[in-house]
Amino acid sequence: MSLFGGVISVSNVCTLLFVVFAVLFFGYALGRIKIRGISLGDAGVFIIALLAGALFFSVNGAGELHFAASSASFDFSESLGAIESLGLIFFVTSVGYIAGPKFFGNFKRNFKSYVLLGIVLPLMGGVSAVLCILAGELFGYGASISSQDGFVAMIVGLLSGSLTSTPAFSATKATVAAEYEGLVSVGHGIAYIFGVVGIVLFVQLVPKLCKANMEEERAKLTPVASGEGSATKKLFCLDPHGIAGFALAALLGVLVGQIKIPLTAEGLEGTCFSLTTTGGCLLASLVLGHFGNVGRLNLLPEQSTLKLLREIGLVFFLVGAGIPGGAEFVANFDVMYFVYGVFMTVVPLTLGFFFAKYILRLSLLNNLGAITGGRTSTPALGMLIHVAGTEDVASAYAATYPVALITVVLVSQFLVILF
């Protein structure tokens, strides 16, 4: 028996489901382990997904992902890509709805800071990438690369991976010469792992190192009037959990994310910028979350629904990204490139934190929330919400994310053109 015209067999579906739920179970178990108060949390799912990809999957020369224990030649990459995309839609749409009622007031108060961080953090990443390029020219590109163009493609791929930025990855592949697209993919895969784990640990370590009083820090996230006084008006709900409103935000977000803005003279045939599905869903849910209803139609999902979909979305995203990442990491690992990726993750994070603290004078949670947005890191926001004990940090993430999204795409393309 087969599904979808024989493309996906029942055995392949069962294999995929078995792997996904096994990764979730063992990932949550790993995430609960604490060492001196520090845990991986949901990133434990990512680590187990990486191990599953490294141990049980392989990538062939065509970039297809195969289950090593099976003689079948089914490519699992598209199925896992769908899980990753669905997870992102669930997560960012939930975040947008949660942040929406307080977003515009918080954005108005800290507008300059959020915009600056959205620009400065990717620029710091770009500077760190330039330093790595200069180091490569000084000490050698590595055994697998013989040209500067190839090395630049690798470094910019590492940059997109350290920022965990799919739009930057896509834009870079579209900018480099065709023969170097594979190097961009390799670099992205190598740096992506520490890009996720590094910032997840960062948002836990910083409050401990600062000896922060979380109750006082939460109080600094001053609540903003959200227009809840209109809740006495009789509103009509399509379903008791608000899933219909959630689906509308996701639908609008997917459509908005498909809008492409040409950045080169070739128009839509050249390099284009788009908010992508992630940015589109975030924008749509922020707007719907802010207004709450259209006429008498209530579009606000229940908070319990949002929290559940946010958690499911995050771990689905980690599974969908982690398994292929683990397989690619094993196939393409190089110690020198991994060190470059760590450098491009740690240095901008550290400098960005101090810039926000001492120059912009943001409170700790606004600082870390804006950094997760400036680094376009979905897993880090999930961990920060847990560490902070409040969803209000999502407002800073949502405010910084769109600016950072645009900046990191432009920075990545500029590096390719410059070198």
For residue 350, tell me if it sits in a domain.
yes
Measure Cα distances from 208 to 37, 39, 78, 365, 396 in Å.
Answer: 9, 13, 40, 13, 20
Q: How far apart are CA 169 and CA 160, in angstroms?
A: 5
Instruction: State the residue range of the domain holding 143.
Output: 2-223+234-418
DSSP letter (8 states) at residue 236: B
For residue 215, tell me if it sits in a domain.
yes
Measure Cα distances from 6 to 2, 269, 274 in Å.
Answer: 5, 34, 34
**Which amino acid, 119?**
I
Would you give per-residue pLDDT tens digits along the chain (419 residues)? Answer: 444 444 556 577 888 889 999 999 999 999 888 887 777 788 888 889 888 988 888 877 666 888 876 656 778 888 888 898 899 899 889 988 988 877 777 777 778 888 899 999 999 999 999 999 998 888 776 656 767 888 888 899 899 889 888 767 767 776 777 777 777 877 887 888 888 889 988 999 999 999 999 999 988 885 544 444 444 768 888 998 999 999 999 999 999 988 887 766 666 666 666 777 877 888 899 899 988 888 889 999 998 999 899 899 989 988 988 888 788 777 667 788 889 999 999 999 999 999 999 999 999 999 999 999 998 888 888 889 988 988 888 888 888 887 887 788 788 888 888 87
In the prediction, which pLDDT does 149 show?
83
For residue 214, tell me if it sits in a domain.
yes
Q: Residue 68 has which token pair? A: 């090593």
In the prediction, which pLDDT does 233 show?
62
| 144 contacts 175 by C-beta, under 8 angstroms | no
For residue 228, tell me if it sits in a domain.
no
For residue 24, tell me if it sits in a domain.
yes
Query: In 3-state terms, what secondary structure has residue 3?
Result: strand
For residue 336, tell me if it sits in a domain.
yes
Measure Cα distances from 99 to 216, 354, 386 in Å.
Answer: 20, 25, 15
Q: Cβ contacts of residue 258 below 8 Å, gap of 6+?
A: 274, 280
Measure Cα distances from 50 to 42, 54, 171, 320, 322 in Å.
Answer: 13, 6, 25, 10, 5
Contacts 24+ apart (CB under 8 A), 272-277: 273/167, 273/171, 273/406, 273/409, 273/410, 274/167, 275/402, 275/405, 276/166, 276/167, 276/405, 277/85, 277/88, 277/89, 277/253
For residue 82, tell me if it sits in a domain.
yes
With 0.85 as the threshold, say if the pTM is over it.
Answer: no
Q: Count of domains in the chain?
A: 1
For residue 229, tell me if it sits in a domain.
no
Alpha helices by DSSP H, listed for 210-275, are 214-220, 243-257
In the prediction, which pLDDT does 352 show?
94
Output the furthest CA–CA distance in the chain (Å, rounded): 70
Counted residue by residue, the chain has a size of 419
| 257 contacts 281 by C-beta, under 8 angstroms | yes
Contacts 24+ apart (CB under 8 A), 14-18: 15/67, 15/70, 16/76, 16/79, 16/80
In the prediction, which pLDDT does 230 show?
44
Q: Cβ contacts of residue 5 below 8 Å, gap of 6+?
A: none
In the prediction, which pLDDT does 72 show?
60
